[in-house]
Structure 1
Amino acid sequence: MTHLPNSMEARDIAYHFHGYTNAVRHAEIGPHIMENGEGVFVTDNTGKRYVEAMAGLWSVALGWGEQRLVRAATQQMENLSFYHNFGHRAHPAIIELAEKLVDMAPVPMSKAYFTNSGSEANDTIMKMIWYRSNALGKPQKKKLISRNRGYHGVTIASGSLTGLPNNHLSFDMPIDRVLHTTCPHYWKEGLEGESEDQFATRCAQDLDAMIQAEGPDTIAAFFAEPVMGAGGVVVPPSTYWEKIQAVLAKYDILLVADEVICGFGRTGRMFASETYDIKPDVMVLSKQITSSYVPFSAFLVNDRFYEPVAEESGRIGVLGHGFTGGGHPVGAAVALENIAIIEERELVKHAAEVGSYFRSRLSTFADHPLVGEVRGIGLIAALEVAHPNQDIAPGKMGAAMADYLLQEGVVSRAMMDACAFCPPLIISRDETDLIIDAVEAGLTALEKHEF
């Protein structure tokens, strides 16, 4: 596609190095440029309006243009535009936020640590797990287990936890000490004749067998999203978490619940750890914590995790880790206001109710000849698109569906043959109907299309 010289598209091609993009293809077609946002809608530079059915990147809980967040950021910039938390320093916003997060956690937590993204948070947790093992006199207890198709970030360490091939290929990843076990996707991974409960049992047995093979004394922690996001919106079988936690308890292995996508109402509870009765040692928070108005993240740790780390810092004289922007006052102020709005407007309850309506409507496509599975919980869902021609290479159908939805004015996200939906928590029933209408049109178009 040819773009006019000096156009925004041409300048983007010339100067902007994109993430999660085919760079060669990008040089040919250029960017899709969004200019404005209001509520659940975004508008591109041609004036076309879209339902942003992915909340940006699973993250804009309050939608676009929430003036209370703008004012919170502006006021904090006027009062104290920056300060750090190195060397015993602090500021009011970060103290208030730490207290708020610890108090609202669904299981007892001790402290909040602040970072700038989910990747940084998980990377930091990995370092602190190794630090903790050394503090406990267990230098061999360093291996970490995550899951195939799991997503925990893209830094060298957190990207190694991520269990998606394209996050590893040509990057010389994953690093050692990181292992991957079974993805809990019954529709794809279940064996013929195997019930969901039997599949959950097998997932737990696979984990137990891996721990035994590696040596229980070498495994430090298990990282998992309560509901898997980028791996395809994988909702675990009903007994999965009960059985997995029993295995971890058997071998004294820490549990890290990655709530980066699930936290702050996405599953119809404030945290997905409540939804699935998960009792983590660490909770990872980002994305919806500020509705992504400001890059910000945090993780919460319990006493079991914190105390050996604190004691080791006393022995050494310092905890030699931190970020200039960790606990940034503007991010902390926006997070506090964002959480206040979620609570005041009862958006967790709203997400549960509207999510149930949306998923019930999406489920009407379950018998469509191009639909393999409809899945989801709360206000997050996916449509697995299949094609009767078994010669079609895997991965094409999700992208084709997402392209048709975009034409119909809906932004979704393709993940192999799945098309994901994760709209802002504020979305109304009528607005979800716009997504459903687009899905219906997309399936009709795909059915007629010759691959």
Structure 2
Amino acid sequence: MSQAKEPAWRDWYRDDLSYILHPATALKAHHEEGPKILVEGHGIYVKDLQGRQFIDGLAGLWNVNIGHGRAEIGDAVREQIGKLAFAPRFFGFSNLPSIALAKRLVDMTPPHLTRVFYTSGGSETNESAFKMARYYFKLNGQPERFKIISRNQAYHGVSMGALSATGIQGHRDMAAPLVPGFSFIPAPYCYRCELGLSYPSCELACAQALERKLQEEGPDTVAAFIGEPIMGAGGAVVPPPEYWPMIEAICRQYGVLLILDEVITGFGRTGKRFALEHWDLRPDMLSLAKGISSGYVPLGASIITEEIYRDLLDKAPAGAPFPHGFTYNGHPVACVAALKNLDIMEQEQLINQAAEVGAYFQERLRGFLEHPLVGDVRGMGLIAGVELVRDKASREQFEPIGKAGSLVAQRAFEGGLICRAILDTVAFAPPLCITKTQVDELLRVFGEDLDRGQEALLDQI
């Protein structure tokens, strides 16, 4: 009697384990547990190779803003490939989709931001911002202004420059020593203030730390400060309302460029087009990626002020090219995907939906503060973090740190929900197309799995 044939999915599992090095993955555990292979998506749902359906509570990696399975983008991409699949943008060349998208981005952002530099994603975008900031000061006769100030827990990418501005030690250790000239101030993480203070009696010491750092480094040596309006990979950290106006005022006082990293928060994630609108900020450079194309095709962009552009134009050596660029800068297919993505956002009013449903999402999430495991709930619009603790009164964490978050996220996956453990914070950022009914479904699954996680943690104590 012949043996039953193994299901086809096992071949894919073996090939994944045989040929792929996965990013941001515990490799030994991956080889023991096997890959999570997704094959299909529609709206807020995805399916794996075995046909199991999951709620995508993280919109891929904070990026599938319009939701999965929008055939309109595929149609637009297919048409563009048939016309012109690639065109360089070096040496003055251009293409129609990149021009149309640049105009649209400038129209969407604050009026002082006027020039678009394209990249393929967030790391390249922030890398480009740092290079342009340093070059700007060189052209203005201040080459000594090369330093960049960032924040502890910040995430700005993993290329060497962007990684040097990332304040998450686990990322930094891999490639240390990193690029010199980067320094850090405390994050506005009120629940676990690293300064040991409490809001509002702290008088925003974490923001005032920027001025102290400038004095420590020498104000005339600092080119830029970079920050995410809401910290994503640092734990979905939302700053107090006074924080960003204070940071911006300090940057202006000392002539330091303000780089806002809206790679995660841009394109409706917080209920507005860009999170900067919550504080009426005027950054010198705005870093965009992820939601710009909803992840359908890789794309990023840095939008800079006309003042910076004019200095790049007028003060560079005569005849010298702008000395920076990437092969896929302004890729026509990526730009077409982004244009169609923005069309969908506008036609379906997804940013308004993110504001309305986001308010409901945040309200429902705060109900979990009654749960014995939950110490803090924070967020804005459709980005949120639920921080787990062993003891609510003392905010004591489970040991080892990260154990509770990983366990609850794994239980959630087993229950049909994809979320992300950031140490002991469970992060959510569902597609903007999510409805209130689907929010209820997501949080019902999370609540059940939170209870299961609590039982497992108590069994291990």
Alignment of 1:153-172 (within 5 A): 153-172=157-176
- How many Å separate the matches in 2 of 1:199 and 1:32? 44
- How many Å separate the matches in 1 of 2:347 and 2:111? 22
- How many Å separate the matches in 2 of 1:284 and 1:435? 30
- Residue 437 of structure 2: which of 404, 426, 430 is its match? 430
- How many Å separate the matches in 2 of 1:203 and 1:410? 35
SS at match of 1:169: helix
What is the aligned partner in structure 2 of residue 262 from structure 1? 265
SS at match of 1:425: coil
SS at match of 2:384: strand
For the 8 Å contact 1:112–1:301, the answer to whether it is kept is yes
- How many Å separate the matches in 1 of 2:398 and 2:110? 47
SS at match of 2:173: coil
The offset of 1:199, in angstroms, is 3.6
The offset of 1:407, in angstroms, is 1.2
1:198-238 CA distances to partner (integer Å, 9 max, x unpaired)?
44520122111110011000010000011110100000101
Relative to 1, partners in 2 of residues 1:35 and 1:254: Cα closer, same or farther, differing over 3 Å?
A: same
What is the aligned partner in structure 1 of residue 3 from structure 2? none
The offset of 1:24, in angstroms, is 2.6
The offset of 1:391, in angstroms, is 5.9
- How many Å separate the matches in 2 of 1:292 and 1:390? 34
For the 8 Å contact 1:289–1:338, the answer to whether it is kept is yes
What is the aligned partner in structure 2 of residue 400 from structure 1? 407
Superposition RMSD in Å? 1.8
- Residue 390 of structure 2: which of 387, 390, 396 is its match? 387
What is the aligned partner in structure 2 of residue 372 from structure 1? 375
Alignment of 1:51-62 (within 5 A): 51-62=55-66
1:310 and 2:317 are equivalent in the alignment: no
- Residue 282 of structure 1: which of 273, 282, 285 is its match? 285
1:131 and 2:99 are equivalent in the alignment: no
- Residue 346 of structure 2: which of 336, 343, 348 is its match? 343
Runs of 4+ in structure 1 displaced over 4 angstroms?
2-6, 190-193
Alignment of 1:28-427 (within 5 A): 28-189=32-193, 194-196=198-200, 198-199=201-202, 201-315=204-318, 317-388=320-391, 392-427=399-434
Matched residue type, 2:347: E
Relative to 1, partners in 2 of residues 1:3 and 1:67: Cα closer, same or farther, differing over 3 Å?
A: closer
Matched residue type, 2:444: D
Matched residue type, 2:208: Q
SS at match of 1:384: strand
SS at match of 1:7: helix
- Residue 440 of structure 1: which of 440, 444, 447 is its match? 447
Matched residue type, 1:33: I
Relative to 1, partners in 2 of residues 1:201 and 1:5: Cα closer, same or farther, differing over 3 Å?
A: closer
Matched residue pairs, number? 449
1:402-443 CA distances to partner (integer Å, 9 max, x unpaired)?
011111110000100000000000011111111111121122
SS at match of 2:318: helix
Relative to 1, partners in 2 of residues 1:200 and 1:248: Cα closer, same or farther, differing over 3 Å?
A: farther
1:250-272 CA distances to partner (integer Å, 9 max, x unpaired)?
10000001110011101110000
The offset of 1:312, in angstroms, is 4.0
For the 8 Å contact 1:399–1:414, the answer to whether it is kept is yes
For the 8 Å contact 1:370–1:386, the answer to whether it is kept is yes
Unaligned runs of 5+ in 1: none
1:287-338 CA distances to partner (integer Å, 9 max, x unpaired)?
0111100001111000232222223445351112111111000111111111
- How many Å separate the matches in 1 of 2:317 and 2:34? 53
TM-score by length of structure 1 reads 0.96
Matched residue type, 1:309: L
- How many Å separate the matches in 1 of 2:322 and 2:431? 38
% identical equivalent positions: 37
SS at match of 2:376: strand
SS at match of 1:246: helix
Unaligned runs of 5+ in 2: 1-5
Relative to 1, partners in 2 of residues 1:340 and 1:390: Cα closer, same or farther, differing over 3 Å?
A: closer
- How many Å separate the matches in 2 of 1:127 and 1:330? 26
Matched residue type, 1:375: R
For the 8 Å contact 1:283–1:299, the answer to whether it is kept is yes
- How many Å separate the matches in 2 of 1:356 and 1:297? 28
SS at match of 1:315: coil
- How many Å separate the matches in 2 of 1:446 and 1:332? 43
